[in-house]
Amino acid sequence: MQQIIYFFQKYKYFLFFLLLQSIALFFTINNNSFHKSKFISSTNTITGGLYEKFSQFSDYFNLKTQNEELISENEQLKNLLEKYNSIGDSTVTLSVIDTSKYNQKYICSKAKIIKNDYHRPNNYLTIDRGTAQGVEKEMAVINSKGIIGITEKSSSNYTRVQSILNNNSKINARLKNDTHFGSLEWDGKDYNTVQLHDIPRQAALKIGDTIITGGKSTIFPEGILIGRIKKIDIKNNNRSIDIQLFNDMSSLGYVYVITHLDKKEINTLNNSTDE
Amino acid sequence: MNKVLYIPFLFLSLLFLQVFILNNILFLGSINPYLYVAFVIFYPLKKERYLFLFLSFLLGLSIDFFSDSGGINAFALLFVAYIRLFFIRVIFKKTEQDYLLFNLHQESFGKVFNYVIILIVIHHFILFSLANFSTQNFSSVLLNTLYSSIFTLILFFLGSYIFRRKEK
């Protein structure tokens, strides 16, 4: 008995150190797996609120680029609108609106990034929308130029987004002019370049081809822009494809969060076939 | 400065300096200084170490809260805080009786420089290895450690020089 007390006396600081160290290690390991609950994140009221205050200042520096992006997006949307107007201008006019034909699948809602990371191996963003505004986990986050990430954890007013610049991120992607699909990952090196893996060998690839989201998951709708093929490496029958992102991940401002309305239905269907 | 207020002041100023300013520097794309190690270097030496270890852990964890990094900052800072005593014994040849009178400004610059550089490099190496969290990209861990350590070191000595002049 005395031996034990003596032992504790001698190594009390070391034991205390080990205790705290194992707590830190536990958080670290927990943070590296996607589906576990996260304790340490910037979505809580204190850190989220402080980041929001700080981003109110730093927003002024980006006003010009934000405006330019908005104008170019407006231009794009106006052109689309013109296209639709010209369709409606034909001799046939639809008089009956059939709701089954206009089955809306996705809803966009805007959000603002209040914290952005792009230089670590695992990057996360924080946006200023949470469960109170209907943002939940596993929703797509995009902007006018392309994809940004997937929401991961929501508090009532803030949400943590797993950036595509994250070692754990895997996104279904395909070629724009082809239906072959692969999975989009990041090797942690350059924040403007991501990698496309597992694309079938028969797919014809050219440098400069556009890559878009594949729509095979319940998170991203099909056809959202990702980037251009920059380099194709062939190493022992394994093609690794570098993709230059359309988005500059180091300067992001306002984003859209996409809600998939049929997600529950698809998920229940998938789960029932698994059994 | 008042001794009671010194540690909370050091804690909060280093935390906010790191989170809101230094984490956004990103010199040449990815090089950041991690100046909050200065907490371990400036914390007064005491025989009783529970509070010191706990505060180091807490400072690291607070930075983790802000930067969504799990517990890597807490792990690295706590490790440096624990091994600090060993280097004080080896480099400055101090025993427990000298702890109360120990002051970094009164030591020779060469010794202080060695002491600071060892702590910073160990801290940065642990930080980047844990952030990487795999055996791949090990060269980038070493490069990041090197560059960021130099950056932190420059900032540390600039900062400590400025604040020392003020106290007089």
Residue B162: the pLDDT is 81
> ∠ CA B24-B30-B33 to the nearest 5 degrees?
60
Instruction: Report the distance separating Cα B62 and Cα A41, nearest Å.
Output: 10
Please say whether the structural domain A171-245 has been given the CATH code 3.30.830.10: no
Closest CA to A32 of B132, B78, B19: B132
Q: What is the mean pLDDT of chain A?
A: 80
Q: Is B139 on the interface with A (CB under 8 A)?
A: no
Residues in chain B: 168
pLDDT band at residue A248 under the 50/70/90 scheme = confident
Query: Do A45-79+105-167+253-274 and A171-245 have matching folds?
Result: yes
**Cα torsion at A40, A45, A47, A50 (round to 10°)?**
170
Amino acid symbol at A159:
T
Q: Is B30 on the interface with A (CB under 8 A)?
A: yes
Say if the Cβ atoms of B71 and A42 lie within 8 Å: no
* CA-based nearest residue in chain A for residue B31: A119
Q: B103 vs B20, which has greater pLDDT?
A: B20
Yes or no: say if B78 and A45 are a contact pair by the CB < 8 Å rule. no
Q: How many domains does chain B have?
A: 1
Compute the average pLDDT of residues B49-54: 87
Sign of torsion, CA A228 A232 A238 A240? negative
* Burial of residue A49, with CB atoms counted within 10 A of its CB: 0-12 exposed, 13-18 middle, 19 or more buried: middle
Say if the Cβ atoms of A47 and B66 lie within 8 Å: yes
Q: Is the pLDDT of residue A99 over 70?
A: no
Kindly list the distances between the CA atom of residue A124 and the CA atoms of A115, A118, A156, A166, A266, in Å, as whole numbers in the listed order: 8, 8, 18, 8, 27
Compute the average pLDDT of residues A125-153: 87
Compute the average pLDDT of residues A165-174: 85
Instruction: Report the distance separating Cα B82 and Cα A15, nearest Å.
Output: 11
Q: Is the pLDDT of residue B155 over 60?
A: yes
Q: Where are the domains of chain A?
A: 45-79+105-167+253-274, 171-245
Residue A35: the pLDDT is 52
**Domain A45-79+105-167+253-274 CATH (choose: 3.40.630.10, 2.60.120.260, 2.40.10.340, 1.10.3720.10):** 2.40.10.340
Instruction: Report the distance separating Cα B61 and Cα B68, nearest Å.
Output: 10
**B18 contact partners, CB below 8 Å, separation of at least 6:** B34, B35, B36, B63
Distance from CA of B107 to the nearest CA of A (A): 27
Compute the average pLDDT of residues A24-41: 70
Residue A93: the pLDDT is 54
A106-120, A211-225, B102-116, B139-153: which is most confident: B139-153
Predicted ipTM?
Answer: 0.78
Closest CA to B115 of B85, B152, B155: B85
Instruction: Report the distance separating Cα A196 and Cα A179, nearest Å.
Output: 14
Q: Is A15 on the interface with B (CB under 8 A)?
A: no
Yes or no: say if A161 and A152 are a contact pair by the CB < 8 Å rule. yes
Q: Is the pLDDT of residue B92 over 50?
A: yes
Contacts of A42 in chain B (CB under 8 A): 65-68
* CA-based nearest residue in chain A for residue B25: A119
Contacting B residues, span 61-100, partner chain A, CB-CB under 8 Å = 61, 64-72, 74-75, 78-79, 82
Q: What is the DSSP letter of B19?
A: I
β-strands A140-143, A193-197 pairing: unpaired
Q: What is the mean pLDDT of chain B?
A: 84
Q: Is the pLDDT of residue B168 over 50?
A: no
Kindly list the distances between the CA atom of residue A184 and the CA atoms of A60, A172, A223, A248, B89, in Å, as whole numbers in the listed order: 33, 6, 14, 17, 51
* Burial of residue B108, with CB atoms counted within 10 A of its CB: 0-12 exposed, 13-18 middle, 19 or more buried: exposed
Encoded tokens for B66? 């802000």
Q: B164 vs A88, which has greater pLDDT?
A: B164
Closest CA to A171 of A229, A221, A232: A221
Residue B123: the pLDDT is 92
Question: What stretches of chain A show up as alpha helix (H) in DSSP?
Answer: 2-10, 12-31, 45-58, 63-88, 263-274
**Shortest CB distance from A40 goes to which of B65, B78, B134?**
B65
Instruction: Report the distance separating Cα B19 and Cα B65, nearest Å.
Output: 10
Closest CA to B24 of A58, A98, A60: A58
Instruction: Report the distance separating Cα B78 and Cα B83, nearest Å.
Output: 9
**pLDDT per position as a tens digit, A220-236:** 888 888 888 888 887 76
Instruction: Report the distance separating Cα A48 and Cα A159, nearest Å.
Output: 9
Chain A interface disruption, residue of B18, B26, B59, B68, most A CBs within 10 A: B68
Residue B138: the pLDDT is 82
Q: Is A180 helix (H, G, I), strand (E, B) or coil?
A: coil
Chain B interface disruption, residue of A17, A22, A189, most B CBs within 10 A: A17
Q: Is A168 on the interface with B (CB under 8 A)?
A: no
Say if the Cβ atoms of B66 and A51 lie within 8 Å: yes
Per the DSSP assignment, residues forming a β-bridge with A51 are none
Domain of B107, in residue numbers: 3-167
pLDDT band at residue A84 under the 50/70/90 scheme = confident
* Burial of residue A116, with CB atoms counted within 10 A of its CB: 0-12 exposed, 13-18 middle, 19 or more buried: buried
Residue B122: the pLDDT is 92
Yes or no: say if B81 and B58 are a contact pair by the CB < 8 Å rule. no
Q: What is the DSSP letter of B35?
A: G
Yes or no: say if B37 and B77 are a contact pair by the CB < 8 Å rule. yes
Q: What is the DSSP string of A113-141?
A: EEE---SSSEEEEEES--GGGT--SS-EE
Compute the average pLDDT of residues A60-76: 81
Q: Is A99 helix (H, G, I), strand (E, B) or coil?
A: coil
**pLDDT per position as a tens digit, A173-219:** 888 888 888 888 888 788 888 888 888 877 788 888 888 888 777 88
